Every structure is written in C-alpha cells, then in structure tokens.
C-alpha cells in the first residue's frame, strides 16, 4: 500500500532528485546557446568569430602579438591565427590533461581569472573558445611552439561538437610561435551559416584602430577551388591566393578612428581632442572626440576593446563630464547670453563623434555578449580623466572651444523651438480630443497587437487600399507626394510638415523626449509604395524619418515593407501573380520564349487568345500568356490589392531591422546628407548592384 501511495504521489507532480537533469561538459551550451552568444541568428553566428578573434587580440593587448589573420575557407570554415605566445599545451594539474584540451572543452577555463596570464583582456567568463567548440561541427587547433618553453613543434587537437577526438600531439615542425584555430558552425544550431565578409571586415577594421600597431588581415577564400593545404602554412596569405583580402594597420589609434567616421562630415573645429591616461597599473582611459556640422551624435563605447552596443558606466561618466565641462567653460568665458540657461546632456551631444575606451583588470559586463559595461569604477575613472583633460584642451584651443559652445547654443535654441512645435502638435490633438488625421482610415479594433497601419503612396492607392482592406484590423494613411528629408532637419522643422505631424498623431507615441513606445497604436507599420524609383525614394525618406526620430519602432520590430507583385499573368482563365522576374519565368514556363510575349500595362482581354503548339500527337490549342506589368498600387483593383499585398494569408512582408547601428547611421549620412562627393562615390561603387526599371 505504501508503495502504491508513493507512486500515486509521483504521478501527481512529485519533485525530487530524480527530476534534476545534470548537463555535463559543454552540453549546457548546446541546450541554451542564446545564454552564451545572445542569439542563434546572424549576430550569434558572427559572435563565434569575435570570441576567437578576441583571444588573439588579447595577446596583442598584452604585448605578445602584433599580427592577426582571419580567413574564411572552403567548407564554411573560419581560421584565426595570431603570432602570440600560443595556447598552453603542457599538462594541467587539476584536469590531468593538456591545458589546450582543458581550455577548449571546459567552461570557465582560461587565463583571464587573475594571475599573470593577462593583465587586461576582453574575455571575462572563460567560455569563449569552449562555447565556439560546442557550437561547431568540427574544430581544429594547431599551436605553434618554438620559444623553448616546451618541445618545439605544432601541437594539434581536433574536436567534434565540443568533444576531443584524441589527445594533443605534435604533427609537424615549426619556426613560428602562436595559435591557429579553425572551426565550422553547426547548422543544427544556426539556421543560416553564411558569414558576411563585409560585416567581418567592418568589425576588424574597428579593432585595428583600437589596438595601435596591430596588423589585422581578413581573407575571403571561400570561393577558392585549388589544392592548397591550409594546414601546412601558418598564415593563409603565405599561399598568395587570388582571393579578396583586406589588411588594416593604424598607428593613430582613436584619432584615426574619429577621422574615419567623420570623413563624410564637415568638422566644426579643426583639432581632434584626445587623451590617454593610465589611472592605475594596467587600467587606462582613452577618449577622442570631434564635433561636426550635424544634428546626430555618434558615441562608440569600448571596454577592453569590446564594443558595448548598450553603453554602460563609462558612457555615463563621459556624458556627465562633457555636460558639466562645457557648461563651466561657456559661463567662465561669457559665451552664452543667458547665464542661467545651461546646456542639457542632449544639447552637448548634437553633432558629436566620440570614442570612449577603458581598459580594466577586473571587468564586469552585463551578459556574455558584453553589450553593456557594468563595472562601477569605470564611471569615476572616465569622469575624472576626461574632465581634467578636456578642460585643459578647451583653454589651449579657444577657437575650437568657442565653435563647440556655439554648436551647443544652437542646439538649445532648436530644443526650445522643437518643444514648442511638439507641444503645439500634441496640444492641438488634445484640444480636438486627439482627433486622428483626416486622411487616416482607422481600423475598428482597439488592440495594438492586432492593428496594422498601411502607409501608402497617394490618394489613388489610398482609395483602393481603403476599399480592399480588412476594416477590423487594418488602417490606411495615404501620403501626398514625398515627405520632408529629415536627415539634417531638426525636430521643429520636421513637425512643420503636415504629413509628419499626421504620422506622429497616428502612431500615438508622441516624439522627441516624450516619445513612449507603450502608446504605439499599431504593432505593424507597413510601408506600401510603388515598385518604381519614386516609390523607392518615398520609402527611403520614411525609413530616414523612422531611424532618426522613431528608432524604437525599428528596434522593436514594428516596421515592415510590403512586397506588391510586379506582374499579373493570365493564362487561359487562370490568374497568377509574380513578385519577381524569377517568379514570372516559373509561372509562364521555361519552355516559353518570353521575348515573344509582349508585356503590357493593360488589363488582360476578356476572351483568351490561343496559339497553336505542336507536340508528338499533332496540334493542340494552348492559351497565350498575357503579362500585365504593375507600375503602382493604384493600378490594382481592391480585390487584387487585398489578395496580393494585404491579406495576411498570402502577402509577403519584409521586416526592417538594424543589424549594425553604426553602419546604418553612416549610410544614412552618405545617402541622405549634404556630402555630394561621398554620395556620388557610393553610387558609382554600387551601381552594378542596382535593379533598374528602365
């Protein structure tokens, strides 16, 4: 009876030791990869490279390496080489196996937890190499030793899904010193395992600026079809392959990085501010900045050379010191008319390009992906070093100081004008009971999660969309012509545009410092413009507006681009829609010569044309395809627009995301700003990639 009761209790939800699952080795990484690399999307895939590269870069920061190579190889392998000390290969006292195997197969094992292995490093948790190993189908490490510490030679070990496939052994002689790590990501973990060469180049270029006199080479040999043996060379570049490659080497450090980011901008002062100071042994603060004729701010935070996308304590200290120092300087030198009118933090950020880099022995990040610095001491370090150095610099460069203060004074005036314009828009809405724009055909549901807002081009498309929509969940807002290019327009000027005011009121989020994403009225904001040059321009103007003044909408995944069809194809009584030229070929059939079929903007005739086609059984009659080329949404009737572009069951939407905020910011500057030479250069360089509708 007691046994029966015990079994009954267990069935009802008993919880004991038997219910506890113990994951051994690297199993936790494969079970929950997001905990270690943030995501299994493109960001997480490239994070594998960053983890291995950071180990090589840390050797350079410690003064033991000056040359790092990252190569993309056939078979989707990544190969990272550094000429540092080489991963230790002697036997580890605790694990009783080679230190190399311990590092590659054990979480929280590394030389960055104190001692003299690394004074400063980007690694913190000691999980980098082992996590990459766990998420790779195959990894091979070859450590070149020739310094006399251990027997000279190439020490190698291979792994499959994190597990060693044998002991560490010497496989060859060598004259080099350093480490070679090769891995290929596991497609069971990553749905898309295609590495983006441009993204890798941009990241490693940035790292080259941060470590003075470090040579970084990036090679894309994925398309190589020869018989080179990559295991027989230390650097891939020794093979002299005819493949894309880039090499970076900068002695200017952060000042060079500032010049790089500002090359398409007009600086308002000539000299770049720069300070580097060691606060304590092995702990330094490094800051560089320059103001440009722009309204946006670009602040790049780094901690131990790791880019902190979410900022952290070092940025808090920098912003506090910047605001206080410029206020003190302006008042001391009587550069503002109203002494009581101080600059706010936002005022002094306008047009600022700055790099803030700290190096700490004991560093704390928030999360394994190191997106935000959490070390409390970093705030005081940056605040103290920057305040002293910037105060002195302003006194020594009075013309530059005056230009910076004048820039902040303009920002104050703009802030007040923007506040008046914003308050006017919101007050007008409040007085009218938050009346929505007259052209907006709102949806019936009050649930933001269900609601969709289609922003369409022109009244014609607006009328069609209003007729064809699902009135319960879909709202339509037609735009008249092209909206204001706000890339260099302040908020007060932006709000002088009736169409932008309509968007602000329709969204419900307000704008500027009162923006509140929680008040968003639609969780899908869909840009639906024509598939021509004008439509693309309107789409770009809207995305510029969203990026500059409604960035949380993009970051939250609320912005989409509709994909209307390019063609309506009628074959007999059957109607098909083609969204691409490839779709058109597939629908019409590979055996049909498209050159013999005329494309028209006209609707297909009621009676089907037929043509004779001969086959083995003689002659038979087949319908001749009629291809209608859509030039705009207004050419569709309501039923067609619903079926192809608005029906959630059939439509194709592209979600707008920001993969790299710095790159996005720079491209908006080039394409939508005032620097004509940079825009011309961009167009010439990318002209072949454009799909032109001629």
Catalytic residue status for 341: no
Q: Is 683 helix (H, G, I), strand (E, B) or coil?
A: helix
- Measured between alpha carbons, how far is 27 from 162 in angstroms, rounded to an integer? 9
Active-site annotation holder among 530, 635, 640, 643: 530
Asked if 26 and 133 count as a contact pair (C-beta separation under 8 A), the reply is yes
Active-site annotation holder among 101, 457, 643, 669: 457
- Measured between alpha carbons, how far is 41 from 374 in angstroms, rounded to an integer? 25
Catalytic residue status for 615: no
List Cα–Cα distances, 350 to 109, 290, 344, 379, 384, in angstroms.
Answer: 44, 11, 11, 22, 23
List Cα–Cα distances, 283 to 64, 279, 304, 533, 688, in angstroms.
Answer: 18, 6, 10, 53, 48
- Measured between alpha carbons, how far is 20 from 322 in angstroms, rounded to an integer? 52
Q: Is 146 helix (H, G, I), strand (E, B) or coil?
A: coil
Catalytic residue status for 457: yes
Active-site annotation holder among 366, 498, 513, 532: 532
Q: Is 620 helix (H, G, I), strand (E, B) or coil?
A: strand
- Measured between alpha carbons, how far is 137 from 656 in angstroms, rounded to an integer? 32
User: Around Cβ 455, how many Cβ atoms within 10 Å?
Assistant: 25
Q: What is the 3-state secondary structure (H, E, C) of 21-64?
A: CCCCCCHHHHHCCHHHHCCCCHHHHHHHHHHHHHHHHHHHHCCC
296, two tokens: 């946006």
Active-site annotation holder among 196, 470, 534, 675: 534
Asked if 200 and 179 count as a contact pair (C-beta separation under 8 A), the reply is no
Catalytic residue status for 294: no
Segment holding 160, helix H or strand E: strand 153-160
| Helix-helix angle 533-549:661-672, to 10 degrees | 130
Going by C-beta distance under 8 Å and a sequence separation of 6 or more, which residues neighbour residue 251? 212, 213
- Measured between alpha carbons, how far is 422 from 560 in angstroms, rounded to an integer? 26
Nearest to residue 29, comparing CAs of 38, 41, 20, 18? 38
Catalytic residues: 457, 530, 532, 534
């Amino acid at each position: 009876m007691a046994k029966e009761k015990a079994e009954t209790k267990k069935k009802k939800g008993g919880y004991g030791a038997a219910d506890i699952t113990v994951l051994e080795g690297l199993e936790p990484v494969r079970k929950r990869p997001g905990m270690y690399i943030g995501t299994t999307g493109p960001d997480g895939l490239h994070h594998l490279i960053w983890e291995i590269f950071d180990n090589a870069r840390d050797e350079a920061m410690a003064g033991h390496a000056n040359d790092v190579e990252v190569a993309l190889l056939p078979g989707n392998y990544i190969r990272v080489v550094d000429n540092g000390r080489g991963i230790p290969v002697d036997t580890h006292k605790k694990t009783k196996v080679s230190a190399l195997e311990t590092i590659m197969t054990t979480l929280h094992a590394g030389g960055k937890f104190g001692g003299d292995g690394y004074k400063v490093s980007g690694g913190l948790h000691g999980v980098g190499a082992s996590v990459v190993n766990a998420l790779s189908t195959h990894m091979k490490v070859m450590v070149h030793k020739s310094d006399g510490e251990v027997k000279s030679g190439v020490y190698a070990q291979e792994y499959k899904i994190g597990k060693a496939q044998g002991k560490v052994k010497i496989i060859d002689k060598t004259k080099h010193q350093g480490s070679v790590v090769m891995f290929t990501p596991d497609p069971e973990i990553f749905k898309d395992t295609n590495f983006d060469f441009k993204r890798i180049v941009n990241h490693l270029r940035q790292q080259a600026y941060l470590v003075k006199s470090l040579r970084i080479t990036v090679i894309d040999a994925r398309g190589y079809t020869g018989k080179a043996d990559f295991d027989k060379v230390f650097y891939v570049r020794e093979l002299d392959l005819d493949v894309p490659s880039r090499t970076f080497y900068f002695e200017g450090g952060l000042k060079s990085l500032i010049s790089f980011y500002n090359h398409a901008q007009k600086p308002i002062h000539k000299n770049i501010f720069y300070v580097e100071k060691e606060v304590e042994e092995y702990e330094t603060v490094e800051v560089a900045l320059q103001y440009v004729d722009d309204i946006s701010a670009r602040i790049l935070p780094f901690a131990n050379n790791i880019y902190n996308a979410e900022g952290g304590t070092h940025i808090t200290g920098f912003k506090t010191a910047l605001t206080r120092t410029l206020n003190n300087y302006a008042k001391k030198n009587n550069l503002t008319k109203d002494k009581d009118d101080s600059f706010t933090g936002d005022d002094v950020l306008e047009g600022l390009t700055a790099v803030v880099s700290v190096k700490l022995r004991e560093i704390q990040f928030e999360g394994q992906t190191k997106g935000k610095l959490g070390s409390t001491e970093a705030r005081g370090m940056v605040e103290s070093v920057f305040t002293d150095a910037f105060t002195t610099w302003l006194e020594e460069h009075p013309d530059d100081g005056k230009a910076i203060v004048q820039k902040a004074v303009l920002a104050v005036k703009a802030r007040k004008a923007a506040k008046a314009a914003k308050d006017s828009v919101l007050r007008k809405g409040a007085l009218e009971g938050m009346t929505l724009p007259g052209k907006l055909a709102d949806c019936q549901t009050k649930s933001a999660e269900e609601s969709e807002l289609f922003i369409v081009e022109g009244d014609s498309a607006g009328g069609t969309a209003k007729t064809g929509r699902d009135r319960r969940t879909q709202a339509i807002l037609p735009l008249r012509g092209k909206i204001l290019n706000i890339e260099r327009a302040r908020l007060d000027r932006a709000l002088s545009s009736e169409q932008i005011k309509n968007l602000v009121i329709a969204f419900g989020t307000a704008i500027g410092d009162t923006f509140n994403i929680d008040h968003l009225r639609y969780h899908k904001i869909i840009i639906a413009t024509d598939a021509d040059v004008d439509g693309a321009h309107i789409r770009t103007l809207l995305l510029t507006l969203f990026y500059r003044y409604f960035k949380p909408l993009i970051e939250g995944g609320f912005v989409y681009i509709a994909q209307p069809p390019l063609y309506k194809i009628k074959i007999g009584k059957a109607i098909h829609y083609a969204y691409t030229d490839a779709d058109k070929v597939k629908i019409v059939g590979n055996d049909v010569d498209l050159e013999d079929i005329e494309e028209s903007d006209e609707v297909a005739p009621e009676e089907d044309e037929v043509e004779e086609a001969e086959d083995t059984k003689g002659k038979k009659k087949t319908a001749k395809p009629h291809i209608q080329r859509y030039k705009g949404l207004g050419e569709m009737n309501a039923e067609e627009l619903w079926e192809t572009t608005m029906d959630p069951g059939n439509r194709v939407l592209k979600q707008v995301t920001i993969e790299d905020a710095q790159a996005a910011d720079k491209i908006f500057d080039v394409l939508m700003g005032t620097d004509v030479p940079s825009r011309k250069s961009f167009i010439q360089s990318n002209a072949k990639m454009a799909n032109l509708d001629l």
